[in-house]
Amino acid sequence: MIRRKPSLPMRLFSGGFVTLSMFVALYPFVWAVVTSIKNRIDWFTFSYIPFVQFSPTLEYWIGEFGSEVRGPRLIRAMTNSLTLALGAALLALVLGVPAGYALARFRYRRWKNKDITMWFLSQRFLPPVATIFPILLMFRFVGLFDTPWALAITNGTATLPFVVLILRDVFRDLPVELEEAALVDGASFFGAFWRVALPLARPAVIAAGIICFAFAWNEFLFGLILTARNGTPMTVIISESEETTGVLFARLATRTLTAMIPPLIVAVLAQRYIVRGLTFGAVKG
């Protein structure tokens, strides 16, 4: 099959569309970078050349990380966010991978597979505000209130349906003959899952874990209600960039850029796993 070369108007349209899309996607990031090095008076000063006609300053970067009060609190919030995001992703994978495999390989009678899948899916339809106060009382009772572990458990439970649904389809696309051959060789059902199916589905498992990490890292409501001081995550710290005189946009931008660093590192390191995992089974030969 011979592919025709796109015409000049089509190439111009495609290039313009891609450029516009990149501008829309990168504008918040550029705004945050530039605002974080602006003086307060420059936030609202009109300029003919935006983001250029001002005197750069590192006042707010130094104020955030050099302050004896805000510096340690910011570091503790970053540590809390990493703990809750990694813990939520690990919990969702530990529970969701076997559940997805079971839904793909076994057929249940009393509670059918379709009903179980719909139950997992319904957990994403449930508004978090409907469950936040019972969860709050439960964690206060067991002594986990104001800890990142409470947020890890809550977010792990909230992101569990993603893992189950993604891995169910992935395991369903794997050739069942490979596991049957392992069973013939004497492996148990768990052995066939652990030694055959799980290694083949590793890219999808990593992709699902990254999705859970991203959702847990960006979660705000649970962090606001289930923490008070010691377990506060970065999302809550960012929302506190306000004083009686109004929003401190440079402080908001500085904290936002700081919170973006870990997800960007994870995305860059695991980029190939994300692409392979999310497109697993999309092309069949």
The tens digit of pLDDT for each residue in 92-129 reads: 999 999 999 999 988 888 888 888 888 888 888 888 88
14: which 2 tokens? 């495609």
Classified as helix, coil or strand, 242 is strand
Q: What is the pLDDT at residue 284?
A: 45
Are 204 and 273 in contact, with CB atoms under 8 Å apart? no
More confident call, 2 vs 149: 149
Closest C-alpha among 239, 254, 244, 237 to residue 57: 254
190: which 2 tokens? 């768990």
Are 167 and 100 in contact, with CB atoms under 8 Å apart? yes
Closest C-alpha among 259, 246, 207, 235 to residue 89: 207
Residue boundaries of the structural domains of the chain: 8-59, 73-278
> In angstroms, rounded to a whole number, what is the distance separating the alpha carbons of residues 155 and 150?
9
Whole-structure pTM value: 0.84
Please give the mean pLDDT across all residues of the chain.
85
pLDDT average, residue stretch 164-186: 89
73-278 homologous superfamily: MetI-like (1.10.3720.10)
